[in-house]
Structure 1
Amino acid sequence: MIRLLLRLPEAGVAGTWPTERACRNRLIATRWPDGVRCPKCENAIVGFLKTRQNFYCKSCLLQFSAQSHSIFHRSHVNLLSWFRAAELLIRYNAHHPDLNYPTGHDLRDVLGISYAAAHALKRKSLSELLQPDGGLLGRCVAVGSAVSAPSNVPVGSSEELLWFYHRIAN
């Protein structure tokens, strides 16, 4: 989480992607850096249905959105809330990994969603963010360049952890 914290945008998630459209464009750029591909057959020849805001594969005819077949699939929570929740989880867990913050109630209050949705969002987001690269959600919100400790600091050591904490404090 510390590596993700160091890569969060300075303006914060809401300042960097203030609208749902901006979040969707960020998701598309992160998920398909070389252009949109069909999640079913991996075909790169896709069209876009403006009225439905969906893509369609010209090979297998699958219709899909930017969220389809990802952590965001079938979620009723908008992308901006997912991104804001990820930022909160990264900030809290980088500083206090032993505490269970923010709670589902905290996320409910900040995001203005139901407790059940906030609890599910937290569980799914943490699972994704704890992947080695932060998963798709982490790659969406952590946009800065990757930060590594100097080469003389052993990877995975307590020295590396102290180096990162010192970097956060300054």
Structure 2
Amino acid sequence: MNSRELTEIELENVHWWSLERRLPVEGVERYFRTDKDRRERFIKVRWPDGPVCIKCGSGNLGIVETRAVFQCKECRHQFSPTAGSILHRSRVDLAGWFRAAEMIIREGDAGFSEYSRRYRVSSQTLADRLGIEYVAAHRLRKILLADMGRGGAGLMSEVICIVTSETPAGIVPDSLAHFDWLFAERSPPSFDEDILRTLMG
């Protein structure tokens, strides 16, 4: 049996294909329908044990409802759920970040060449579909690729990849068998018209 180690490009494919399997079948925008849904999911992933002050670390927080921000009851510091994260001070709202992360995972087959491995979805495509400036889309794409790529912190992939996907017994992660299984299981996206329309913007 061939048990060679995977190439870097094959490992890239394993990584992105694994994330794709964990995306909600109905699409991210349908699954997280409201700003409240997206905000609560982001908070849950960022602070699994409950939010804490980004300034002093206290968990004794209140909420300023009119501004949708936390206020620390110890140091009085106010901060949004995204403050201090990769989304810090971004003018793109949570819906835009969720959509962009999904597009990068769904629409960027790593392929088998250095060019296709680096390409994924383009900055211009993100700009067009999200209705934002190219510069903002380029920054968004760069941040998301670093975060969701191999070796990244994986904040946004954990936020939107909500489906549990287990590797079959006997298959070692990142092995040739793992690659072959993902390749065999993977099929081109078959979205209904509503999901396709959502992704296309």
Letter of the 1:41 counterpart: C
TM-score by length of 1: 0.90
Runs of 4+ in 1 over 4 A off after TM superposition: 131-134
Structure 1: tracts of 5 or more residues without a match: none
In the alignment, what sits opposite 1:48?
63
TM-score by length of 2: 0.77
| CA distance, structure 1, for counterparts of residue 128 and residue 90 of structure 2 | 19
Instruction: Check the 8 A contact 2:110/2:117 in 1, yes or no.
Output: no
| CA distance, structure 2, for counterparts of residue 166 and residue 133 of structure 1 | 26
In the alignment, what sits opposite 2:120?
101
| CA distance, structure 1, for counterparts of residue 49 and residue 89 of structure 2 | 25
| Cα distance change of structure 1 residues 85 and 112 upon mapping to structure 2, 3 Å threshold | same
Deviates more, 1:11-20 or 1:97-106: 97-106
- Report the 3-state secondary structure (helix = DSSP H, G, I; strand = E; otherwise coil) of the residue aligned with 1:93: coil
Q: In the alignment, which of 59, 70, 82 is matched to residue 85 of structure 2?
A: 70
Answering whether residue 153 of structure 2 is matched by residue 138 of structure 1, we say no
In the alignment, what sits opposite 1:165?
183
Letter of the 2:173 counterpart: V
Shift in Å at residue 136 of structure 1? 1.1
Shift in Å at residue 2 of structure 1? 1.6
In the alignment, what sits opposite 2:105?
90
Instruction: Check the 8 A contact 1:13/1:84 in 2, yes or no.
Output: yes
Deviates more, 1:41-50 or 1:30-39: 30-39
Structure 2: tracts of 5 or more residues without a match: 1-15, 189-201
CA RMSD of aligned residues (A): 1.9
Instruction: Check the 8 A contact 2:71/2:79 in 1, yes or no.
Output: yes
| Cα distance change of structure 1 residues 71 and 131 upon mapping to structure 2, 3 Å threshold | farther
